[in-house]
Chains A and B, each alone.
Chain A
Amino acid sequence: MTSKAEIAVEKFLEKTDSEAASFFEACVHCGICAEACQFHLATGDPKYTPTYKLRPMERAYKREKAPFSSLKKMLGLAPKPVTEEELIEWGPLVYDSCNMCARCTLVCPMGIDIAGTISKMRAGYEAAGLAPEGLERSVEFVKKTTSPMGVTIKALSAQIKHQEKATGLKIEVDKQGADYMCTFSSSEIMGYPEVLGAYAKLFDRAGVSWTISSVAYEATNVGVQIGSASLAKEIVTRVVESAEALGVKAVISPECGHAYGAIRFAGPNLMGRQYKFEVVHIIEVIDQLRREGKLPAGKKDARKMTLHDPCQIVRRGGLLKEPRRLLDDSCSNFTEMKYAGKANFCCGGGGGVSANERAEELRTEAFSLKVDQLNGVDGLEAVVVPCANCRSVFEDGLDAYEMDLEVLGLAELVAETLAEPDEKQG
């Protein structure tokens, strides 16, 4: 019988490609990454040092796979084998205290991508059945309803009807040959359904056709978060097959962090083939339509606003300028917060942490850094958060710290500040 530790180690080794290996080989234990990690900064606890979170996987590699490992084993110089107790002890470091935000990579003198390596490590945990319960529950929901929050097509249809009434525009489901097929995050559908109306307004104005699949409306991919390749593949495949059946030109990934990377970069590798359509992020689409002149900007919102940079969209997604261009057009009083842009702090809920009940207290503690950033902008009235997951974490966090601040989505803001159809472009 193979033990849990053996299963995990086997997966660690399988996942240790030359990239992960060179990270393990290059780390000089300088500890500088701790200075970038919000869990360390918020708690001061040394165990939240990013490179320390990788320790069991690093040990497995150095014991079993690294050059000279067999020589060192023979001489009794190899590191100790990884045990199940140790893996359980490390669980909170791998799942609860890593947002996979990659801020540590910025400061690392070796450029080590700890976030990417954590996701490889999670694959080992998932294979050994050591992933946290909260995330496992999401998996159950996904298997039943395709959504980690249990959002059914019935619920979606009700929200669509609502938004059609509010905007007076038709939102067509399963429309063959549309330009775009849009996907959403469950929390958008349930918490911020105005985003459906915003999409309707924007695409109607730009004169492009779009649709929502009745099967593959969910964009989030809990398989990627938890580290399960088979589940991740299942979720991606559903979207890809639906999009190809509808014959759309592109699938739009919503204002959600990991969803974009999951379908844009991980997806083809999981399925073993390229798609017959493009994958674009909603911010890219809106920005492009704006630059093509199809979405002229109108009267700007005069409130003092700032922008939160979702890690997976900005630091790990490369969409740094696009949201800022759109905000400049939509808001007359846009002020950047400290650390804005590439080095912005995560909301604290990324990397599956928000779905992990065990991590709730820690997540709230980490949000204190975001509170400091927000308090650093004088007279702030609203914060634009172009990620549904960040947005719900923000709302919980602002509640916990008793702060009164409006949280907005970017698409909604752009839709609200569009020029009137007869208005000259300003």
Chain B
Amino acid sequence: MSFLNFVEGPLFTFAAAVFVLAALWRLIGIIRIGRTKDISPPKGSAAVGFIKGNLRHFIPRGIFAKRTMVHLVGGYGFHLGLFVLVFFGVYHIDFLNERILGFSWPALPRWAFLLTSAIAFSGLIMLWVRRISDPVMRLISDKDDHIGSWLTFLVMLSGCFALEQAHDSLRATHMLLVDIWLIYFPFSRLMHGFTFFLSRGQSGATYGRKGIDL
């Protein structure tokens, strides 16, 4: 078995399994802690609040825009960019189609892929650079923050290096990093990609129950 076959085959399967199982375990673990039932008469719906909280925090509030511009541009650029790259890059669609899903969908044209990558890379670099140069960020950041950023960056960089599809070793490097990233994800703060809906939802529910329009 070639190294590429190994990182795309057994190692990928293992990493994906760890990713799914550990992430589920962690999510269930958080939910299972539970909260005491609130018996005060509600003024609004907690369930609606849960959904509203999730939607409301997708949209930044204008009054903070100026002070948080680097974060908004970097954050949205990176996250939206990465989402588009992962699910609309032609080689990603092929991989998902052949190995997991068995169906495909239209991919981005090459120029759009390159543009999106540029945006996603810019965003990630901006976020990390802010992490090392803002006194607030320097105070609150820990190792996990930096490892998560760098691992994601290396996954993206190796992916971009492999774009020519001419060398198996470049593709294998990318896949190896993807596998490491998948295994690291559920044990780290990268999990925010899943826990965000719990967090937004629960505060939304608390507010919603009190009849507060977020």
Interface residues of A (CB under 8 A from B): 16-19, 21-23, 25-32, 34-36, 40, 46-47, 49, 51-52, 65-68, 72, 105-113, 116, 261, 264-269, 272-274, 315-318, 320, 339, 343
Contacts and interface: CB of A to CB of B under 8 A. Distances in A.
Contact of A318 (B39, B40, B212): B212
Contacts of B173: none
Interface stretch (B1-9, B151-159, B203-211): B203-211
B203 A112 contact: yes
Given A26-B200, A107-B61, A268-B40, 15 more contacts: A18-B30, A18-B31, A19-B202, A22-B195, A29-B140, A32-B68, A46-B140, A49-B139, A68-B29, A105-B203, A111-B199, A116-B206, A265-B40, A320-B213, A339-B63
Interface centre among A261, A264, A318 (most CB of B within 10 A): A318
A19 B206 contact: yes
A109 B206 contact: no
Interface in B1-57: 22, 25-26, 28-36, 38-41, 43-44, 53-54, 56-57
Given A34-B136, A110-B199, A269-B40, A29 B141 contact: yes
A111 B51 CA distance: 12
A316 B208 CA distance: 10
16 contacts: A16-B33, A18-B31, A22-B195, A25-B191, A26-B192, A26-B196, A27-B199, A105-B203, A107-B61, A107-B68, A113-B202, A116-B203, A264-B40, A268-B39, A320-B213, A343-B61
B40 A29 contact: no
A199 B52 CA distance: 37
A320 B189 CA distance: 36
Given A34-B136, A111-B53, A267 B40 contact: yes
A30 B75 contact: yes
Contacts of A112: 199, 203
B198 interface: yes
B183 to A, nearest CB: 13
Contacts of A106: 61, 64
B8 to A, nearest CB: 28
Contacts of B134: 31
A266 B38 CA distance: 9
A51 B192 contact: no
A17 to B, nearest CB: 4
A25 B199 contact: yes
A35 B67 contact: yes
Interface string B118-156: 000000000100000011111111100100000000000
B139 A317 contact: no
Given A32-B71, A109-B75, A21 B30 contact: yes
A29 B134 CA distance: 12
Contacts of A109: 57, 60, 75, 196
A308 to B, nearest CB: 17
A46 B136 contact: yes
Contacts of B30: 18, 21-22, 25, 66-67
A108 B33 contact: no
Contacts of B83: none
Contacts of A51: 140
Nearest to B70: A32
B212 A317 contact: yes
A31 B132 CA distance: 12
Given A274-B41, A318-B210, A35 B33 contact: no
A194 B39 CA distance: 36
A273 B41 CA distance: 10
Contacts of B195: 22, 25-26
A22 B202 contact: yes
Contacts of B161: none
A22 B61 CA distance: 22
Given A110-B200, A269-B38, A274-B39, A68 B140 contact: no
A29 B35 contact: no
B187 interface: yes
A318 B214 CA distance: 8
A316 B60 CA distance: 19
B196 to A, nearest CB: 5
Contact of A49 (B28, B68, B140, B192): B140
B210 A36 contact: no
B210 to A, nearest CB: 6
Nearest to A321: B213
Please give me the 8 A-B residue pairs with the lowest Cβ-Cβ distance, nearest first: A67-B29, A26-B199, A318-B212, A111-B200, A22-B198, A17-B35, A113-B203, A268-B40
